[in-house]
Every structure is written in C-alpha cells, then in structure tokens.
Amino acid sequence: MILNCLYFKMAAKHVFFDCMFLVQQFFITSGDVRNDLYVVLDRAIFDRGGKTAGKNVEVTVCVIDRSNMRKMPCICLGDGEKPVEEYKSVVYRHTNQPRWNEIIKLMIPIDKFNDTHIRFEFRHCSGNRANNMRKLFGMSFVKLMKGDGTTLHDGPHELYVYTCTDHNRFENPSAYLVLPFSTTDTANKSINAQNNSNYPRSPREFFHVETTICSTKLTQNVNLLDLLRWKKNTNNVVDTLRRLSKVGGQDIVRILQDVLDTLFSILDDNPEKYADLVFKGLIYIIGVLRDSRFKSFTTVLDTYIERHFSGALAHKYLLSYLQRVTENIQMNHDYASSAFSSFHFLFKFCIRSRILYEQTTGGKGDGRFVSDVRSLFSSIKDFMKRDEDYVRKAQSTLLENCYIVFIELQKLLSPLDVSTLMMETIESVPQSSGLTGVKLKCLSQAIKGKLFTDSSSRSYILPLSLGILSSLIKGEQELRICLSIVGDILASYKHLTLTEYESNEIQLIVNALIGILLNTLLHIQKDQTVGPNAPGSPSIVSLCTSCFICLLKLMKEGHYEMLISTMAHDLEKLCGFLLRLFCVFEHLVTMVIFPKDWMVMKMALNIVILSSTQYFCQPLHTYLIDAVQNEPHSKDSQSIYETPHDEGVQSRIISHCIEVWNRFFLFASCFLTQPCLQLETFTVEKRSKIQDKYGDLREPMAFHAVSMWDKLGSTKAEFKSKTSLFLGVTLVPGSGLRKAVLPIISDIMDCEFQSKGNFSQLEDDLSDKLDQFVVQERKGDNNYRDLFESVLMQQSKGKDWEEKGVHLIGKIAQLLERLIDYRNVVSINNEDKRFMKISCIYNLMNFLYQDRSKRDTWARHIYRLHELHLRKDEHTEAAFTLLELAKTYNWSDNLIPEDSYGRFPQQKERERKEILYNKILVHLDKGQVWECGIPLCKELADLYENKLYNYKKLSTILKTQADFFTKILDVKRLPPIYFLVEFFGKSFPAIKRNKCFIFRGNPCDKVANILQSLQADFPNAQPLSFKADDSIKNGQAQYISVRQVNVTASENSRFKGHNVPHEITLFYQGNEVNEFFYDRPFQKGVEDKSMPMKSMWLDRITLKTTFRLPGVLKWAEVTQIIKGEKISPLKIAVETMKKTSAELELLNYNAKTYGVVEPLTMKLSGVVQAQVSGGITVYRDIFLTESYAEENPDDDDIIQELKNLIEDQFRILSECIIVHSRLIDDTLRPLHDEFKRQLLELKRSIQHDTSSPGPLPERKESLNRLGIKNEDRSNKSKSVFHTPETQATRLIPKSYKRGPVSPRKNSDPGLMISQDALSGIGTSDSSSTSSSSIPHTRDSGSSSSLDINNSTFYRSSIISNVSNRSSSDGDTFPSIPPPLPKRGGSRPNSGTGSTSSGSRSDSPIPETDPPAVPPRKVNEAPPPLPRKTSSSNLSRRSGEMPVITRETLPTTHENPVPSRPVDSGIYSGSETSLKDIGEIQITVPSSEEFNGLLSVQIPVGGTAEPEVPPKRTPPPVPSRPKRTPDHSQ
C-alpha cells in the first residue's frame, strides 16, 4: 500500500510541474499581482546513527520572517482554507531514505520575500503510540532571495542537514542563517561560517526539495533585474538593453507589463540614444509571444496596449523605424522578417500612441501622422513589388499581418482611405511571386470585415476583388480560398438592404462570375484528381455549387433579362451558355453534393433551380424555337440578333439549339426523379413538414416541362428519342403529375407512327425502360398501370394509328402488370417470396418470348430464374432453364454480339450454344437426370465428329455420355413425390388466385414441408383440410390445400415389346409426366358400422398440367381436371393387397440386400398384427362370403383374384419371417416369435373359415408360383382391375418380381391355402434342399401383379424414421418407429473360434474369403460399421449353419444404398453377394408334419433351440387405435 502511495505521489509531482507552466500562461493576466511559491518535499537521506532500525522521520515546514523572528502564517493547505504556520509531512516507519513527494503552496507577500527563509525540522517519532514523543534530530533551511536580488531558481535543490542539539536556539535564526543551505550556497560562505559548532552538518545526510515560483513582480534572471532597475545605473542602460535578447521567454512573460513599461520609459527618457535598442527589444519580446508556448500571452499584450500603455510619442519613432526596415531589408533579412512578424503589434502601439497624443494635445495633431502612414505604405508597395527570392519570406510575413494594421487604421482614417491603402497593397503583389494564397487571405479578411459593409469602401474593393478572383478561378488557382471569398461577397448582400445601388453591384457580380462558375463546375465535376485541395474534391465542388446557387438566389427578374440580353445578339453564345447551364443543373440534382441528411440545403437548392429555370427557359422559345423549326425569324427577333447567312453556321446553330432542348428535357427528368423530392419515401412526419414549408416541387417543374413540350409544335418529332425520360417522369407518384405528362407519350407515339408507320422500335424502348424502372428502380404501381392504360387509350381515340396504338397500349399494360408483380416479391438479399419470384419471372419469360425483339430482356430473366434455382440446389430445373436459352441458338458460325450482362463475350453462335450445353450437362448430372442429358451428348458428339472434327472434345463428350449410361444402371435414385397445391382466396395474387398446381417434391418431402415452404411466401395463409366452397374462394382470407397425388405414367413407345432393365424404365415412371390422380373416399348406400369398408368407395380424380415435369419450374399449373371414375370396395381390396404384397417383397429384398431390417419389422407388425383395419380378416368377412358372391355375380373374377392375392401374400409373409429371423438380434426375438404365432393363427382362421376339402396343391404348382422354375404360367383369372406401376414395384429387380397368381389345377373354387405358403416358418434351416436355390424368374411378357398406386412404402423402407403422412395424403400405414441402435464389433462363433464380422455358422453361404470390394459409385453411401451382437444370441446359435445376419450387410437408414445388378457380386462393402442372399432355402413339409409345424422351434446345429426362461416373456404388442380404414390410395 505504501509503495502504491509513493507511486501515486511521484506521478502527481510530475503532473504538477508539467501543469505549472500552463498555469502561468493561462491564469496570469495583465494587472494581476501574484507571488506564490510551490515547494515539493521530495526525499531525504539520513544516517542510521549506530541503530539497527531506521528512523520514523516527520518533516515540519515553516516560513520564518527574519525581521521579527516569527513563523509566518502563509502555508496554504487547500483552496478556501486559512493559511497556517506549520506543515507536517507523512511519517514512514523505519526508513532512513523516505520519499514524500508532497506539494505545498506558500503565499508570501512581496515585501516580505527578501527577508524570508523556509526551515525544515526533522523529528524522530516514537514507535510507542502511548508515548507519542517526537525528538528533534536535525534541520535544513533555504533562503528565498539571493544576494544579487534574484529569487530562488526553479528546480530541485539538495539541502544540507544540520544536527540540532538544542531546539531552543531556533529562537535566534541568525545563528544558522550564516551557514550554507546547499552546495550552491557553499561558495558564498566563508570557512569559519561553515564550521559552526552549534549546528554541525552530517556529510552523509541530505534533504531534497523542488521549488517553483509563480510571481508577477519577482524574477530569477539577473539581466531582467538590471533592466527593471535601469535608473539605479544609467550608465549601463545600453548594455542592459542589448542583454535583453538573452533573457528567456518564461522570465519575460512573468513580468511582461513591468518590462514593457521599462522599455517605453527608457524611450521617453532619451529617444535619440535608445530608440533603436528599444525597437529591437520590442521586436524580441513580440517574437517571444509568437512562440506556441506563450501564445496565450498575446491577449495580455493587447490588454496592456489598450489599458496600460502610456507612450504618447512612441508612434513617431516606431513608424520611422518600420519604414527604415522596409527600405533597407537587404541589410539584414532575418531582422526584417522578425520586424514584419511583429508589424501588427508595433502598429497597434503606433495607433494607441497617436490616440494618446491627440488626447493629450486636445485633438491638435501636427498632421504628420497621415503622411507618415502613406509614406510607410508606399515603401511597403515598393517592397511587395520586388521579385528577389530572399524577400519572399519577409513579403509573406508582412502580408499576413497587414489586415490587422488596416483594422487599426480605421480608428484614425476614413474607410475609403483604408480600403485604398489595402487594395493598393494587395494589387502590388505580382501573380508570379508565389504569394497568391497570402494575398487572398488578406482579401478574405477585408471582405469579412467592416470595410466591405461600408458602401464607399465596397465600391472600391468589389471591382478590384472580382477582377482578381475571376482570373484566378478561370485558371483554377487557389480554388478553395477564391470560392470562399466569392461566398463571403455573396453572403454579405444577404444582410444589406438591396437598393438600386446594391442591385447594380449584383449585376456586376453576375456579369463577372456566372459564366466562370458554370465552366468551373463543369470541369471540376469531371476532375478525377485525388486530394483535399484537388479541383474535383467534394469540398471544392460543394463550395462552387454554393456560390453558384447563392448567385442565382440574389438575381431578380431584371438581372436575368440583362444577362440574356447581353448574349441575345450572338445565338451561338446563347446556346453555349444555356447548354452549360442545363448541364450544370442536371449535375446538381443528380450528384451527391451534400450529405444525405442535409435536407434543408437540398430543398433550398431545388427551389433556386426551379425559379431560375422559369427565367432561363424563356430564350428557348423566344430565340431558339425558330432555329429548331428552321423557319425565318420574326421581325422582332431580327432586331435582336442578326441571322447568319452561312449555311454551315446555320446548321451548326440548329444542332446546338436541338441539343439545348434535349438537355433541358434531360434536366427536367432528373429534377423530377431525384430522391430528395420523392416524398413518398419519407416518414409521415417528415413528409408533412416538407410539404408545409416547401410544397411538392415536382408539380411546378412537371407542368413547366409539359408547357415547353407543347411549344415545340411540329418539331416534336426531333425529340421522340426522349421516350425514356418522359416515361420515367410518368412513374413519379402523383395522379396530377402523371396525367399531365402521359399525353407526351401519346405525342411520341404519333410522331413514331408518322415517321415509320409502326410502333416496333417504340415498343422495344418502352419494354426495356419499364423493366429498368419497375424492377430495378422499384417505381410504379397498379394505379399507374391503370392510369397509363386509360389515359393513353383516351388519347389514341380518333387517331390514324388508333387500332395499332390500342394493341401496343394493351401489351405494355400487360407487361406492367407482370413487372409490378415480380417487383413486389423481389428483394436482393431476401430468400423469402421465392415461389412468387419464380412464378413472376416465368410469366415475364412467357410474355417476352412471344416477341423476338425482346430476347435480350427475356434472356436476363432466364439468368435470374437460373440463379434462383441454384440457390436451392435445384439443378434439374436450372438445367431446363438454360436449355430454353440454348434452344434459341443454332449450330452456325454467325457472329453474335456480347450480351448486355457480361456473361458471354462476342463469339460465334455455335460456341455460345456449346458453352450452354456443357453447363446444362453439369446441372443434369448433379440433378441425377442423366436420361435428359444423353440427347445433348449425342448432339454435341455429332457436332464434334461430323462438323468440327474435334476428336479431343468428341472423346470427352463420349466419356460423359458413357458415364451417364453407367449411372442410370448403377446409382439408385429416389423417385420424386408429387403434390397437388390449391390456392383459395381473393387476396392471393392473380397468378395464384383460386388456381391449382402440381408440385414436384423431393423424394422425402411431406405435405408439411410443402405447406411450410409456401407459407414463407404467404404467411397469412391457413392450411385447408376440407373441400373449398364459394365463400372460401371469394373471401379475403387465404387458404392453401396440399395433398399428395400419384403419377399416371405413360407407356414409353421405345420400350414396347422389349425386355428393358427395370432401372431404365423406373425413371419414366416418375419423370416426363403431366398426368396425375388422387382418390377421395365416400360412402355409398347404407353404412355398416361394424364393416365400414363394405360401403366405402373411391372417387378417382385425374389432373393434367400445362407441361411435363420436371421442367423449367418445380411446379406446373393444372389445366384439366377429370372426375367420374368410381372404385368399388372390392377393387380397393384388390388394389390394397397388391400394394401390400409389393411392399413386403420390396422390404424383404432390401433386408436381404442391404440389411435394413427395421422397415420390414414395422411392416410385418402392420400386416400380421393388423389391428387397425383388420387386414385379410376384413376382406374375408366382407368379400369372400357366399352372400357377397350372390349379390355381386359380376365380380367373380375380381373375387378370385383377391383369393389368389391372399394366398400369395401368405407365401410372401413366410419368406419375410425367415429373413427376419436371421437378421434380428435378441432384443427383437420375442416380437419375432409373436409374429410367427399370430401368422399361424391368421392362417388357421382363414383356412377354417374359407377353405373347402380337397387335395393339397401340387408341389410343382407351388414352385412355379415361387418362381423356382423358369416357365410361363398362365393366369386363368386375370384381374379386371389394373392400376399403374408405382415406385415400390419399380425398385424390385425384374428377376425378383412375380407374375399374377393363377388358380391351381383341380382346386376348389374356394380359397385353398397350401402348406408351402407357410413353409419355412417353423422348419430347420439346415433342412433346406438345394432345389430352392434356383433364383426366382419371370417371363418378360407376363404382366406384373405387384403394380400399386402409392410410392410411400419405398421411402419408408429406405428411410427408417418416417412418420405417418397427413390424412390428405390418403395413407393408411402405421407409424414406423426410429431405427434400431447400430451395433459395432464382430460376433465370435462359440466353439469354433471367431469368424469374420457378419458371417455365422448357420449361413448357407460357404465359408470362403470375401472378394475385393469394388469402388463406390457416384452418390453412393459409404459402407457402415458392423453391428455388435449380444452374447446370448451367440450362445444360442452356436453350432448352427452360417446364416445371413444384419451385421454382414450395410445398414442404411437415411442414405439409401444405390442398386446394382443382382449378379454383380459384393455390393458396397458387404461380405455377402446379392445372388447368395436371393437363394434363401425354403423347405416344404409333408402333410403329416403340418399340424405340428408352427410349434417347432428353429433348431441350432441340428437340435432344437433351448427353451426360453420362464421369467422372460414376450413383450406385449403395442395396441393401435382403431379407426375407419382409409383405402383412398
């Protein structure tokens, strides 16, 4: 803590001494009397004196008056405190080298200062607080005055420490005052005095202090003291004055008033002898005050001159010496520069001296003062004309100080005399001297001063100033200061009463500066020089603009007339002036001259421009209209100017006149469209304030422009190219303004038709400009569109071009509507409103594509649409978008220009099309739409091979084509999902209002995803889950209905009659389609509450779109809705059975191929444990009864088909149970056992209720149905109801699909369930025969019985964690729980050692080394980690034959594994081939074994599995809420 205190005090001490000098500068003023001494107790060094511990030293400070031997109460402890006699320092314990750094202030009277000294007493304080003794052991002292009369020097002092033996001796200070107090005082003392026995000095002890004096009367300088005491020694005055230049500035400024009084006293005593030295002394003192450290003392000097100076005769000598210095400057350049630097202060002394002299003499001067002043300035003018280099500095210094001299001269001379002296001095400076800036500063000060406000002096200053300024501005020299002076001149007239005299002066300014300011503005606005003083810098542009506007504001009507009349005789000169004027006006309203928030300045600028325009437009129709119309001038105009006879001059004048008119219309357009006048963009408060103070400045300018247009008469055709200008004006908000300007468009249409007979060029101009104004500049609204159409339609009536004009106006109005819709949803950095953006762009594209002349604008929207697609990675739509652009080009060598967006340079047409094709192929590859890219590859290959013969590019494109073919077969693609989206409500935009669209969604999209994306565009829209009526369609509320639809795939003629791989045909089942359908359930007849499905029918609705999907958009508008097809409940059952069987086979295939067992588990739970809709039992109770057959005799074939489908589904379930048993772990074993039990119960119930006695089906027929034997099987009961093939069946390889199930020979017409339909459920895996290893095949000509109408199941089999879709989808599938947790590690084989991960002893696959893993294909998921297997499962299965487990197969839940041909061997890192997986052996039991078949456990190693412990019971199957079955799909 003590160290921190020390550091703080040391810092405070340094800050104190740094600030002391500033205190003396700012707080010592003329007339103040101060005598303060600041003392800092710094540190001390004391002797230990034989003691082990240091002293506890306390310092007592006191000021002793030697005259009365008493302590003086002059120690100040703080502001407002009463002075005390003593000050006691802080005590630091046990230290012999204490550091105090304590500051005290001593206020000692001046008369006591000489006999005063400071004594420091040192006492040792006892450490015992109870004793509290302070023992004096030493003292130090310091005298405040030296023997020579100067005060103690500022700075540190090392004081001697004297030992005190008796403190009573302090009663007589003279006893120690004879001793030296420091090393500097030792030399002044005798040896006897130093050896004083009463106060012995310890040579090793010292005390350090620092002192600073702040006094207005005392000095520490001997030379300065001699000057103040000059009367005591008059013989040394000359030497004393010479030594004045050696005195420091700090000493002088302390006693500045006393020094100046002394100098002028010496001058009055003997001016002939001391005048020269006094003059030099004044120059030196004034030079000291110019130092930055003492600049604040210049006010002290001014106060001294005004209040305390008393030299009435000094002016005589000072003026003569100033003139002498001016005339003899070559003798001493530095001395002359110093004298000129002090020129204004010396002149102040002269003026004040002259005033005192006149006051003394009673106003009776000798008259020599004025002549002396004129003589002095005559010498100054001669001096300023000199061109030597060595006088430049002195000339500059003199000019800088001249203006203060002129101000002082006004106290004695008239303003005209002073202005005459000033302007003569300024004009005497040559232009080549390099002193232009200094001269202008002097002129600027004169303009700002009182001289310019006086009319007599202003009449002399103004013409000369304008001449100087105009020449400098024209040469762009010192532009900043010149323009500032011009601004000061113009501002001075604001405070004057403008009489005729001042009006003439303004006319003089206008004639001298307006043309120069115009030219300067035009030039500096184009200047690109960088720098603060560059002509084109913003500050200089602002200055010049301000001067020009101020000049226009000062001008009255007479000034405008006089200005124009001076140019009226020369038409070329008038045209040039007006052209420059309107050009400057245009720049002023378009350039950013003032900061954005300087609204007052901008409005003032616009008001001045508006009022000036009304005057400057008069010569347009007074003098220039005849030249434009190429008609002879009227008699009145002849008297004003003479018509040129030279045809070349006449044509030049006509072109200039037309150019002036064009420039005027351009300026008027810029004025009306400038941002600061668009009141609609401001807040309500700001808008109201502007309108109240300034009004709407756009309307008067618009009406003025229209009146000027009307005055053109038959010459309007010369200006029809200004369509864009007037069109931009019509977009300015305000119905009155728009109605006034829109007829100009009609006049331009009339001129266009009269000259060309059509509106093709005008239509292009209007379309391009409207696209720019509406979309990019965000101008215009629906009110403008209506007004545009109505006004122009009205104007076109009765015209020759009425029919064509109406057609043009209608097209432009349609374009406006589409542009406004697009503009309303477009924002640069906003991803919202994406749906509306794309829709509006597409509408614009369709509108612009009809006209080939607008292909450039159409291409711009192509690029915009392409960019929007890429932002969401919609590469397929991006490719089709670019393809539309590529179709507009041919494979020709025609050279086409660079596009207006910088995307393509000037190149051949085929080169641009080739670039576009390559970009399209990249997008098609990323979008996995390779089928669409193959025709483009072939087209490029033909180009490279047969036209360009570029075999290198041919090789590349053929490789790309081959890669596309390979990816079609190898990469598994998820089919797209399609949704029907309907918009209801009048508040929707017209392009969506009460319309429906088909959306092409991503493979995993749901209704909620589509609805969420649409609500980003329409946040107020509500989802609609019921049929919309007229109240919803015509209401203001917004509703969006979204439902999933199915695809009606068209048969591809290329594949008809051919055995095409499933991977190829799969693409066309969900792409290149434009027909879709969905079903709506309804009850027909009386509803049976116990069996609602019995009376539930489906209403099938078919939808057709404008174009096929995929395409340019992700959606297409529905153009045709076909209703009427009714689906009976029996057909619904057949369709549902087909769908369920296909889904089971697909999941079974995926489980064997990819090891994805979770979807199979979920599906088995939904089919075997059918608790929601009842499943097969419901169909049995409703359709497989005698009563139903008797009531519906026409449905016999469909009933038989349903029976066959049920039988086939039992066989499929048997296969699924076998595969499920081999892939699950112990956690799912109880559930699997429950599946087996319920499946047997279901079979028994079906067999008991529906089977009739008869022989079991033959083994051959069963194998044929299983596809073991490759032979064609006829279907005797063909289905009368056929649904299109869907995604679920498309994904099953051809070799795995089964044909329609036909009735067995010699079988009962009832439902016959064969034993082989459930074979393998309870049999041993080891009992499988080799006969079942034959892969299932089917003939290519047979029709598939697995065609279904929904693509949902495939997605649920690949993406395991998929929830139910909403009711609008029509799905009835149960929710699929999350996938099972992945397990890692390998499964050891108990008893035989460890085997490779995924292989088991019960697998029918021979134990051989797995083949090498092929490289992964494009978009193929990486192989998953192996799953961990529980030990209980291992122990139970030890000794079994190797089986296929889920650990041996890739487990893909979210990234589907791409497909490969069945015979391709190892797939995606798996250790089991697809071929082997397909060879799951199925054992057909005998009829005797069938009764106990279902209760037999799967054996392990030829023996039965151990019994399940009694405590481990199968988990209960979760119950599902019962609901009415929905068979809409």
Backbone angles phi, psi at 408, to 5 degrees: -70, -35
Q: Are strands 99-107 and 75-76 parallel, antiparallel or unpaired?
A: antiparallel
Dist. CA 100–CA 41, nearest whole Å = 6
**Orientation of helix 1196-1223 relative to helix 1158-1168, angle to 10°:** 140
With the C-alpha atoms ordered 489, 493, 495, 496, is the resulting torsion angle positive or negative?
positive
Instruction: Give me the pLDDT at residue 1505, please.
Output: 39
For the chain, residues with pLDDT lower than 70 are 1-33, 129-131, 165-169, 186-197, 330-333, 363-367, 527-533, 536, 626-649, 826-832, 850-854, 900, 1170-1174, 1248-1529
Dist. CA 447–CA 442, nearest whole Å = 9
Q: Nearest-5° angle of CA 156, CA 160, CA 166?
A: 140
**Residue 488: in which H helix or E strand, if any?**
helix 479-492
Instruction: Give me the pLDDT at residue 1112, please.
Output: 93
Long-range contacts of 755-760 (CB under 8 A, 24+ apart): 755/717, 755/720, 758/804, 759/801, 759/804, 759/805, 759/808, 760/853
Instruction: Give me the pLDDT at residue 228, please.
Output: 78
pTM over cut 0.85 = no
Name which of 309, 257, 325 is nearest 285 in CA terms: 257
Burial degree of 1504 (CB within 10 A; 0-12, 13-18, 19+): exposed
Instruction: Give me the pLDDT at residue 167, please.
Output: 60
Dist. CA 1007–CA 799, nearest whole Å = 56
Using alpha carbons, list the distances in angstroms from residue 1516 to 1231, 1233, 1512, 1513: 8, 12, 12, 9
CB atoms within 10 A of CB 1463: 11
Using alpha carbons, list the distances in angstroms from residue 565 to 136, 319, 503, 584: 103, 53, 17, 21
Instruction: Give me the pLDDT at residue 533, please.
Output: 66
DSSP one-letter string for 1436-1481? HHTTSPP-B-GGGS---SSSPPPP--TTS-S-TT-SS-HHHHHT--
Left, alpha or beta for 675 (phi > 0: left; psi -120 to 50: alpha)?
A: alpha
- Check if the beta carbon of residue 1168 is closer than 8 Å to that of residue 1232: no
Residue type, position 1300, single letter: P
Retrieve residue 1225's tokens: 């772990």
Q: How many angstroms from the chain centroid is the CA of residue 693?
A: 36
